[in-house]
C-alpha cells in the first residue's frame, strides 16, 4: 500500500486487462511516431544536437511512467522549456558544443533537484505564484518567440540568435535579402500540408465514414507523414543537395551513455534562477494538462507527487544526455486520445524511441530543417491565444493588462525575465486590489433584522451608532487601509459613540489585521468611542481568542448578530470622550 | 482649497490661536534639546561626521512641517535608517570620507525620489508588503544590531565593523582584552543615569506633586541633561584627557552648504535596492507613528501625502548635507506630549537647530563618545520587543515564526537582506495559507433552511447532490487547490449528479479563479455531473456575468440560496454520464 503511494504505476496496474494492454500499446506507437520529429526539433531549438531530443525522450519518459500520478501525461522535451533552456545556456557556452550539452544536463539536474525538493516538502503551492493571466501571457509570448526563432530555418538564412527576441528580429530583417527561395518554398509547402492535416483532413476523413476518434488520430499522425515524405524526397531523390536545402545532418546512432553532470559551482550559481523558472513553468504546464485530462475520466492527480515525478524524470534526463523536460500538452492529448490507460504506454514509447535511436538515427540525416521548422511553427501557433487576452480584458481590465504586460515582457526581455516580471506584476496587482477592500456603512431595513448599505437602501440609522461591514479578510495587505477608512468614517459621524465592525465577510485574520484592530481600539478609546465586533466567523473568533483580543476589547463586546448589537447599544450614550 | 490639499500646513493654521503658538513653541524647544544628542549619535552610527546629524535635522524637518499631513510627526535622523545607511554605504566608500558623505546625500536623494514617485502614483499600498510580524522582527533585529554597533564605544575599543553583524561581534570578542576601563565606567554611569531617568524619575517627580505631563516631559529631557553634564565634566575639568575618554571632537560650525548630489550612475545602480528598502522602512515607521498619534486627537493622516512629504524631506536633506530621514517614534511622541499643535513646531525646531549648528558646535567637541553610545543603547533597547514575539507565537505559530526568522535574518545577513527576507517569507507564508482554504461539505439541518458542515452537525443529505461551501476568495493562490479538492470530494460521492458550490464566503474572484471554475465545469460535465453555484455575492456575480460565465455554466444554474438549489435539484436524477 505504502509503496503504491510513492509508485503510482503499481496502483494503476491493479486489475490490468488485455484491453488496457491494447490501449497502452497503440498509444505508445502513435506517441512515438509523433514524438520523434518534435523531439529532434526541440533539441535544435534548445541549441543542442538533434539526437539529444531522442535521449531526453527515453529515460525521463520511462521514469515518469512509473512515478507519475497521471495515467496519461506524456513527459518529454516541450517547446517552451527548450526555448528557456536555450536562453539560459547561450550566455554560458557556444550552442552545439560539448560544454553546452554538459550545461544542459546540469540544468536538467537542477530542475530535477528543485522539483523533487518542492515535492518532498509538499510545497506545490509555489506554483500558485503563476496566476492564470501570467501563464496565458507567458505561453502566448514564448510561442511568438519560438516562431521567431524558426524563421531563419524557414528563410534559409544563417543568422545568429540575439540575446533578446527583438535583436533576433533585427538580425533576421537585416539578412532578409539573402532569403533562399527553395527553402522558403519547401517550408511553405510543409506548413500548407500541416495546416490542411488539421481540421480540413479531419472533416474529410469523417465524411468518408471513419469514426471520430480514428479521424482525429490519423490527422494527428499527419505531421509524422509529412516529415517522413520529406526525408524520403531528400534521401532517395537527393532533393536536398539539388535544391540547396539544409538538412539536419547525420548524427551518431546509439543510446546515450550514463554519466553524472559535472558539478561546476559557478555554473550552478548562474543557472539557478533559470532552473527555478523552468521548474515552475514545467510543473504548471504539466499539472494543468494532467488535471484537464484526468478530469475527463474522473482520475485525480496529486500535485506533490507530480512535482516528485517530474523531478525524478529531469534527474533521469540529467544522467542520460537530456535537457529539461515536462508534461507536454499536445503529446499528452495524443496519448490520451490514442487510448493510453496507464504509465505502461510511456514505458513502451520509451522503449520504441530507444530502438529508433539505436537503429534508425541515420535516416534523420536527410530531414530538411525547413520542414522541421514548419512542424514547430504549426504546433506552437495553436498556443498563441489572443482571444484569451480579449476575454480577460472584458472580465477585468487589470487582468487583461497583466496578460498583455507578460506577453510584452517576454517579447522585450526574453522568457526568464518575462516570467519573473509576470510573477511580480501578478503579486503587485493582487496587493493593490486586496489593499482597498469594500467597506459599507449599513443601517437596518425598517421592520426587519436585515442590515444594508446606507448608500443603496432606505434604512434606519442611529446617531450614536456607526455600523460598518468589511467585505474582505483582514490581513497585512489591507490592515492599515481598513484602520484608516474606519477613522475616516468616524470623522464623518462625529456623534458616534459606538463603532460596530460587522465581520460577516471576514474569512480570516492575520497578525497584521489583529494589530490594526488593536490600534483601532486604542485610537477610538482615546476619542471616547467604543469598538465592538459582530457576526465574527468561527475561525476568526478562535484566532482573536488565542490572542486574548476579547479581553483587550472590553468594554467593547463581540455580538452574534448586528441586530443584537443594535438592541444592546442603541440606548447607550457611550462613555465620555477622553479627548481634550 | 487645492493648495491646502497639497500643503497641509495651510489647513492646519486656519484659526491658529495664541494657545496653539504657545504649544508649538514649547514643543520646538523640548524637541531641539532632545534631538541634538540623538542626531549627532545617529550621524556617527551612519558612518558620517557628527555635524551631519544637525544638517539632516534642519531642512528636512522644516519641509515636513510644511508638507506633512500629520500635525505632530517629527522628521529627522532615526536609528534604524542610520544603520541601513551605514550598511548600504560601507561597501562603496570609507566611513567619514567626503565620498562617503556624497554617497549619503545621493542615497537620501534616491529615497526622496522613490517616495515622491510612489506618493504621486498613490502607491502607498506597497508598504503593505511589510506585514506586522516582519516590521516587528525587523525593528527588534536592527535594534540589537545597533546596540552591537555601539559596544565598541562603550568598551573604548577601536575595532572595525564587519560587513555582517556576526563579524562585528567576532571582532569585538577578539579585542575584548583591550577594554578601556574608564570608558566602560563612564558608559555604565551614563546608562544607569539614563535608565533611572525613565520610570523611577517619573514616579519620583509625580510623588513630589508635579502634574503627570510635566513629570513625563522632565524625564524625557533627562538624556539632554546627562549629555550636557558629561560635556561640562569633560570641557571644564578636562576629565576626558585625564581618564583617556574618547570624545566626539571638534567639528566645523556653520550651516550646510546647498549642493546637488553628484549623479554617479554606477553608484545609483548599487544604491537602488538599499534606497528602496530605506524608503519602505522609513515610510512604514513614519506612517504608523503618525497614525497612532493622530488617532489620539481624532486627526487623520493621508498615506499618499505622507509619502510625498517624506520624499520632499529626503530631497531637502539630499541638497543640504543630510542622509535618509523619517518620522521617528520617540521624537514624535516627545513633540506630541510637549504640546505641539501644528507643523510650525517642526519649523521652529529646525530654526533652533540651525542656531545651534551656527553658534554652539564647538561645545560638542567635548562630548564623550561613551556617553553618546549609552544614550543610543538606552533609546533603542526599548524597541527590542520579545514579548511581541511571544504574543504572535501564541496567536499563530506561522506568524511567530515569521517574526523570529526576520530577527534571525537581520542578525545573520544584515538589515537590507533581513528586510528582503522578511518580505519574501511574508508573501510565501500568505500564499501557503491562502492556497489551502477551508471547504465544508454541508447538509440541511432538518426542518430548517440552514445548511451546516456534515462533519460537525447531524444533517440531511441527498445522494445525487453534493453541497460544498468554500470559505475563501477564489484567486490565483488557491484556484487549483479548490478545483482539486472538489474533484476529490466528488470521488468520495460517486452517486452525485449535481455539485452545488456555495459561495457565501467568496468576496472576490480573479481570472485564475474563473479559469478554475471553467475547468471544473468541463471536468464535471465529462463525468455527467452538473456544476451549480449558490449564494454568490454581488461583486462576484458581476465579475462572472462580465466573463459570460452564466451562459457557460448552462445547464448548471446560479441559485440565490442553498435552500432553493436543494428544492430545484433534489428530485433531478441528472444527465447520463458522458464518461465511458
> How far is A149 from A45, CA to CA, in rounded Å?
8
> How far is A568 from A571, CA to CA, in rounded Å?
7
The pLDDT mean for chain A works out to 87
Among the candidates B396, B427, B458, a domain finishes at B427
Say what the pLDDT of residue A576 is: 42
Cβ-defined contact of B291 to A128 (cutoff 8 Å): no
Residue A462 shares a structural domain with residue A369: no
Query: Which residue among B287, B303, B472 places its CB closest to the CB of A507?
Result: B472
Q: Chain A residues with CB inside 8 Å of B514's CB?
A: 132, 395
Task: Tell how strand B530-534 and strand B558-559 pair up.
Answer: parallel
Mean pLDDT of A559-563: 88
> How far is A68 from B11, CA to CA, in rounded Å?
67
**Measured between CA atoms, how close is A135 to chain B, in angstroms?**
10
Best-predicted range by mean pLDDT (A205-209, A285-289, B367-371, B403-407): B403-407
Give yes or no for A493 touching B (CB within 8 A): no
Beta-bridged to residue A451, according to DSSP, are A444
Mean pLDDT of A423-448: 84
Number of neighbouring beta carbons within 10 Å of residue A167: 13
Cβ-defined contact of B480 to A131 (cutoff 8 Å): no
Closest residue on chain B to A400 (Cα) = B511
Question: Is residue B53 in a domain?
Answer: yes
Residue B33: CB partners within 8 Å, gap ≥ 6? Answer: B221, B224
Question: Can you give the CATH number for the domain in which A563 is found?
Answer: 3.30.750.24
> How far is A484 from B128, CA to CA, in rounded Å?
13
Residue A237 shares a structural domain with residue A117: yes
Query: Which residue among A125, A287, A546 places its CB closest to the CB of B431?
Result: A125
The model's pTM: 0.76
Cβ-defined contact of A472 to B394 (cutoff 8 Å): no
> How far is B157 from B495, CA to CA, in rounded Å?
79
Closest residue on chain B to A401 (Cα) = B511
> How far is A355 from A254, CA to CA, in rounded Å?
9
Closest residue on chain B to A483 (Cα) = B291
Say what the pLDDT of residue A198 is: 83
Residue B573 phi, psi (nearest 5): -75, -10
Residue A47 shares a structural domain with residue A185: yes
Q: How far is CA B86 from CA A533, B173, B271, in A?
A: 45, 21, 12
pLDDT digits (tens, 9 = 90+) for B203-262: 888 888 888 777 877 887 888 888 888 888 888 888 777 888 888 887 888 888 888 887
- Scored b (16 or more CB within 10 A) or e, B80-90 reads bbbbbbbbbbb
Q: Chain A residues with CB inside 8 Å of B435's CB?
A: 125, 128
Say what the pLDDT of residue A65 is: 92
Question: Is residue B578 in a domain?
Answer: no
Mean pLDDT of A62-73: 91
Q: How far is CA A303 from CA A133, A282, A493, B201, in A?
A: 21, 13, 51, 63
Which residue did the predictor score with more confidence, B404 or A224? Answer: B404
Mean pLDDT of B15-44: 88
Cβ-defined contact of A431 to B128 (cutoff 8 Å): yes
Question: Is residue A255 in a domain?
Answer: no
Cβ-defined contact of B295 to A472 (cutoff 8 Å): no
Mean pLDDT of A70-99: 91
Q: Chain B residues with CB inside 8 Å of A123's CB?
A: 432
- Identify the band that residue A577 occupies on the pLDDT scale cut at 50, 70 and 90: very low
> How far is A441 from A451, CA to CA, in rounded Å?
9
Residue A358 shares a structural domain with residue A493: no
DSSP-derived letter for residue B203 is: H
Q: Chain A residues with CB inside 8 Å of B70's CB?
A: none
**Measured between CA atoms, how close is A84 to chain B, in angstroms?**
23
**pLDDT exceeds cutoff 90 at A285:** no
Domain membership of residue B397 as a residue range: 2-156+180-427
Closest residue on chain A to B516 (Cα) = A132
Task: Please say whether the beta carbons of B428 and B176 come within 8 A.
Answer: no
Say what the pLDDT of residue A574 is: 56
Beta-bridged to residue A187, according to DSSP, are none
Task: Please say whether the beta carbons of B466 and B441 come within 8 A.
Answer: yes
Cβ-defined contact of A436 to B125 (cutoff 8 Å): yes
**Measured between CA atoms, how close is B94 to chain A, in angstroms?**
30
Mean pLDDT of A494-503: 93
Nearest to B202 by CA among B191, B190, B189, B213: B213
| Cis? peptide before B555, omega within 30° of 0 | yes
Residue B301 shares a structural domain with residue B380: yes
Q: Could you tell me how far CA B373 lies from the centroid of its own chain?
A: 25
Give yes or no for B561 touching A (CB within 8 A): no
Q: What angle do CA B64, B67, B73 make, to 5 degrees?
A: 45
- At residue A244, the 3 state secondary structure works out as coil
Say what the pLDDT of residue A570 is: 83
Identify the helix (H) or strand (E) that includes residue A303: helix A303-318
Give yes or no for A391 touching B (CB within 8 A): yes
Which stretch of A306-320, A400-414, B244-258, B509-523 has the lowest confidence by average pLDDT? B244-258
Give yes or no for A430 touching B (CB within 8 A): yes
Q: Chain A residues with CB inside 8 Å of B515's CB?
A: 132
For chain A, the first-to-last Cα distance in angstroms comes to: 72
> How far is B246 from B96, CA to CA, in rounded Å?
17
Cβ-defined contact of B512 to A132 (cutoff 8 Å): yes
**Measured between CA atoms, how close is B32 to chain A, in angstroms?**
26
Q: Chain B residues with CB inside 8 Å of A127's CB?
A: 480
Task: Please say whether the beta carbons of B420 and B277 come within 8 A.
Answer: yes
Say what the pLDDT of residue B140 is: 92
Among the candidates B401, B427, B453, a domain finishes at B427
Which stretch of A84-98, A234-248, B87-101 has the lowest confidence by average pLDDT? A234-248
For chain B, the first-to-last Cα distance in angstroms comes to: 73
**pLDDT exceeds cutoff 60 at A528:** yes
> How far is B513 from B494, CA to CA, in rounded Å?
25
> How far is A358 from A338, CA to CA, in rounded Å?
25
Number of neighbouring beta carbons within 10 Å of residue A118: 24
Say what the pLDDT of residue A1 is: 55
Residue B189: CB partners within 8 Å, gap ≥ 6? Answer: none
The DSSP line for B366-434 is G-BHHHHHHHHHHHHHTT--HHHHHHHHHH-HHHHHHHHHHHHHHHHH-HHHHHHHHHHHHHHHHHHHH
The pLDDT mean for chain B works out to 87
Residue B544 shares a structural domain with residue B461: yes
Mean pLDDT of B288-300: 78
- Identify the band that residue A534 occupies on the pLDDT scale cut at 50, 70 and 90: very high
Cβ-defined contact of A300 to B508 (cutoff 8 Å): no
Cβ-defined contact of B395 to A524 (cutoff 8 Å): no
Residue B207 shares a structural domain with residue B315: yes
Which stretch of A508-512, B90-94, B361-365 has the lowest confidence by average pLDDT? B361-365
**Measured between CA atoms, how close is A24 to chain B, in angstroms?**
17
pLDDT digits (tens, 9 = 90+) for B103-122: 999 999 999 999 999 888 87
pLDDT digits (tens, 9 = 90+) for B304-318: 889 999 999 999 999
Residue A416 shares a structural domain with residue A443: no
**Measured between CA atoms, how close is B475 to chain A, in angstroms?**
8
Nearest to A27 by CA among A92, A91, A57, A71: A71
> How far is B227 from A435, CA to CA, in rounded Å?
45
Query: Which residue among A128, A301, A476 places its CB closest to the CB of B476?
Result: A128
Cβ-defined contact of A487 to B515 (cutoff 8 Å): no
Nearest to A337 by CA among A224, A200, A226, A214: A214
Cβ-defined contact of B527 to A484 (cutoff 8 Å): no
Q: Could you give the number of structural domains in chain B?
A: 2
Task: Tell how strand A439-444 and strand A451-453 pair up.
Answer: antiparallel
Say what the pLDDT of residue B572 is: 67
When computed from its CA atoms, the radius of gyration of chain A, rounded to whole angstroms, is: 30
Give yes or no for A11 touching B (CB within 8 A): no
Residue A288 shares a structural domain with residue A369: yes
Residue B58: CB partners within 8 Å, gap ≥ 6? Answer: B255, B256, B320, B350, B353, B354, B357
**Measured between CA atoms, how close is B448 to chain A, in angstroms?**
18
Residue A422 shares a structural domain with residue A466: no
Predicted-complex ipTM score: 0.74
Give yes or no for A386 touching B (CB within 8 A): no
Question: Is residue B169 in a domain?
Answer: no
Q: Chain A residues with CB inside 8 Å of B438's CB?
A: 507, 539
Question: Is residue B319 in a domain?
Answer: yes
Which stretch of A194-203, B29-38, B252-261, B271-280 has the lowest confidence by average pLDDT? B252-261
Mean pLDDT of B39-49: 91
Say what the pLDDT of residue B578 is: 36
Cβ-defined contact of B523 to A296 (cutoff 8 Å): yes
Say what the pLDDT of residue A578 is: 36
**pLDDT exceeds cutoff 60 at A542:** yes
- At residue A200, the 3 state secondary structure works out as helix
Residue A75 shares a structural domain with residue A151: yes
Instruction: Show the 3-state SS of B466-529.
Output: EEEEECCCECCCCHHHHHHHHHHHHHHCCCCCEEEEECCCCCCECHHHHHHHHHHHHHHHCCCC
Beta-bridged to residue A470, according to DSSP, are A439
Question: Is residue B162 in a domain?
Answer: no
Say what the pLDDT of residue A351 is: 94
Give yes or no for B457 touching A (CB within 8 A): no
> How far is A567 from A453, CA to CA, in rounded Å?
19
Question: Is residue B163 in a domain?
Answer: no
- Identify the band that residue B154 occupies on the pLDDT scale cut at 50, 70 and 90: very high
Give yes or no for B551 touching A (CB within 8 A): no
Mean pLDDT of A463-468: 94
Give yes or no for B572 touching A (CB within 8 A): no
pLDDT digits (tens, 9 = 90+) for B453-502: 898 888 899 999 999 999 888 988 888 889 888 988 988 998 999 999 99
Nearest to A64 by CA among A415, A337, A340: A340
Sign of CA dihedral B547, B553, B557, B562: negative
Residue B390 shares a structural domain with residue B472: no
Give yes or no for A432 touching B (CB within 8 A): yes
Q: Chain A residues with CB inside 8 Å of B286's CB?
A: none
**Measured between CA atoms, how close is A479 to chain B, in angstroms?**
8
**Measured between CA atoms, how close is B471 to chain A, in angstroms?**
6
**pLDDT exceeds cutoff 90 at A260:** no
Among the candidates B399, B427, B455, a domain finishes at B427
- At residue A443, the 3 state secondary structure works out as strand
Give yes or no for A441 touching B (CB within 8 A): no
**Measured between CA atoms, how close is B479 to chain A, in angstroms?**
8
User: For helices A18-45 and A369-381, what crossing angle results, to 10°?
Assistant: 110
Give yes or no for A393 touching B (CB within 8 A): no
Chain B, residues 124-183, CB within 8 A of chain A, namely 125-133
Q: Chain B residues with CB inside 8 Å of A388's CB?
A: none
Cβ-defined contact of A128 to B478 (cutoff 8 Å): yes
Question: Is residue B355 in a domain?
Answer: yes
Say what the pLDDT of residue B576 is: 42
> How far is B491 from B529, CA to CA, in rounded Å?
12
Amino acid at each position: 500500500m505504502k509503496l503504491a503511494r510513492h509508485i503510482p504505476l503499481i496502483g494503476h496496474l491493479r486489475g490490468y486487462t488485455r484491453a488496457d494492454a491494447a490501449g497502452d500499446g497503440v498509444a505508445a506507437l502513435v506517441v512515438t511516431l509523433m514524438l520523434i520529429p518534435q523531439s529532434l526539433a526541440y533539441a535544435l531549438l534548445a541549441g543542442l544536437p538533434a539526437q539529444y531530443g531522442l535521449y531526453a525522450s527515453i529515460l525521463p519518459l520511462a521514469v515518469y511512467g512509473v512515478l507519475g500520478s497521471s495515467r496519461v501525461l506524456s513527459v518529454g522535451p516541450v517547446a517552451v522549456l527548450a526555448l528557456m533552456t536555450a536562453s539560459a545556456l547561450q550566455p554560458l557556452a557556444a550552442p552545439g558544443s560539448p560544454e553546452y550539452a554538459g550545461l544542459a544536463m546540469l540544468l536538467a539536474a537542477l530542475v530535477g533537484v528543485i522539483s523533487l525538493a518542492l515535492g518532498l516538502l509538499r510545497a506545490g503551492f509555489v506554483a500558485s505564484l503563476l496566476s492564470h493571466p501570467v501563464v496565458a501571457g507567458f505561453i502566448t509570448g514564448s510561442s511568438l518567440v519560438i516562431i521567431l526563432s524558426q524563421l531563419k530555418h524557414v528563410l534559409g538564412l544563417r543568422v545568429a540568435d540575439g540575446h533578446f527576441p527583438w535583436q533576433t528580429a533585427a538580425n533576421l530583417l537585416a539578412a532578409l535579402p539573402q532569403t533562399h527561395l527553395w527553402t522558403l518554398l519547401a517550408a511553405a509547402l510543409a506548413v500548407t500540408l500541416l495546416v490542411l492535416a488539421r481540421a480540413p483532413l479531419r472533416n474529410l476523413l469523417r465524411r468518408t465514414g471513419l469514426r471520430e476518434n480514428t479521424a482525429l488520430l490519423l490527422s494527428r499522425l499527419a505531421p509524422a507523414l509529412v516529415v517522413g515524405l520529406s526525408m524520403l524526397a531528400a534521401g532517395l531523390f537527393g532533393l536536398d543537395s539539388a535544391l540547396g536545402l539544409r538538412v539536419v545532418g547525420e548524427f551518431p546512432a546509439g543510446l546515450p551513455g550514463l554519466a553524472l553532470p559535472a558539478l561546476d559551482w559557478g555554473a550552478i550559481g548562474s543557472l539557478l534562477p533559470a532552473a527555478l523558472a523552468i521548474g515552475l513553468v514545467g510543473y504548471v504546464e504539466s499539472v494543468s494538462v494532467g488535471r484537464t485530462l484526468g478530469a475527463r475520466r474522473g482520475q485525480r492527480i496529486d500535485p506533490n507527487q507530480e512535482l516528485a515525478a517530474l523531478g525524478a524524470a529531469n534527474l533521469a534526463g540529467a544522467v542520460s544526455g537530456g535537457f529539461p523536460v515536462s508534461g507536454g500538452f499536445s503529446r499528452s492529448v495524443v496519448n490520451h486520445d490514442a487510448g493510453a490507460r496507464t504509465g505502461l504506454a510511456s514505458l513502451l514509447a520509451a522503449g520504441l524511441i530507444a530502438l529508433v535511436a539505436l537503429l534508425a538515427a541515420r535516416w534523420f540525416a536527410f530531414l530538411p530543417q525547413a520542414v522541421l521548422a514548419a512542424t514547430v511553427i504549426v504546433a506552437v501557433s495553436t498556443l498563441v491565444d489572443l482571444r484569451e487576452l480579449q476575454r480577460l480584458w472584458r472580465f477585468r481590465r487589470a487582468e487583461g493588462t497583466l496578460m498583455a504586460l507578460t506577453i510584452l515582457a517576454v517579447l522585450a526581455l526574453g522568457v526568464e525575465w518575462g516570467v519573473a516580471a509576470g510573477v511580480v506584476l501578478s503579486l503587485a496587482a493582487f496587493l493593490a486590489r486586496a489593499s482597498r477592500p469594500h467597506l459599507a456603512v449599513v443601517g437596518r431595513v425598517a421592520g426587519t433584522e436585515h442590515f444594508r448599505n446606507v448608500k443603496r437602501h432606505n434604512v434606519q440609522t442611529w446617531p450614536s451608532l456607526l455600523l460598518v461591514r468589511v467585505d474582505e479578510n483582514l490581513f497585512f495587505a489591507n490592515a492599515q487601509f481598513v484602520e484608516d477608512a474606519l477613522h475616516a468614517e468616524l470623522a464623518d459621524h462625529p456623534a458616534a459613540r459606538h463603532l460596530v465592525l460587522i465581520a460577516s465577510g471576514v474569512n480570516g485574520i492575520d497578525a497584521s489585521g489583529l494589530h490594526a484592530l488593536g490600534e483601532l481600539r486604542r485610537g477610538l478609546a482615546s476619542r471616547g468611542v467604543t469598538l465592538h465586533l459582530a457576526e465574527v466567523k468561527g475561525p476568526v473568533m478562535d484566532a482573536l481568542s488565542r490572542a486574548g483580543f476579547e479581553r483587550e476589547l472590553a468594554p467593547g463586546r463581540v455580538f452574534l448578530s448586528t441586530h443584537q448589537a443594535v438592541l444592546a447599544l442603541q440606548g447607550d450614550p457611550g462613555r465620555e470622550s477622553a479627548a481634550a
